[in-house]
Amino acid sequence: MNRKPVVLTRNSDGRFGIDVPSVPDWEGFEKLARFLENEYQAQVINKADGPDSRQWILLVGGHEVILRHDDPYGNTIESKDALGAKIVEAIGKDLEARLKGF
């Protein structure tokens, strides 16, 4: 089966989400956080780390973005509201291009 490296979704309330099955684990969460910090100047404004899940709220381009890891589901990135949807969509398309072939 050929899985997409990134799955982009728009919710009915206007929020945008990215599922990142090609970067699925706890270590992948750290890689995604570094990617967002390096490429999008993301700043962590809140962290919640548990034994099997993590959720960080990041400020990206003036909008709050949620980076989440849930065992066994994996890593996701989503806009906290509809106003941040454009930046999350841009991040998703960037990840899609960078992870093509993984």
Q: What single-letter DSSP state applies at residue 3?
A: -
1 pLDDT higher than 80: no
Task: Evaluate whether the domain defined by 7-98 bears CATH number 3.90.550.
Answer: no
Q: Where are the domains of the chain?
A: 7-98
Positions of E strands within 1-101 = 7-10, 16-19, 43-49, 53-60, 63-70, 74-79
At 96, which amino acid appears?
E
pLDDT digits (tens, 9 = 90+) for 33-91: 999 999 999 999 999 999 999 999 999 999 999 999 998 889 999 999 999 999 999 99
Q: Is the pLDDT of residue 2 over 70?
A: no
Given a cut of 70, is residue 30 above it in pLDDT? yes
What pLDDT is stored for residue 89 in this prediction? 95
Read off the pTM.
0.92
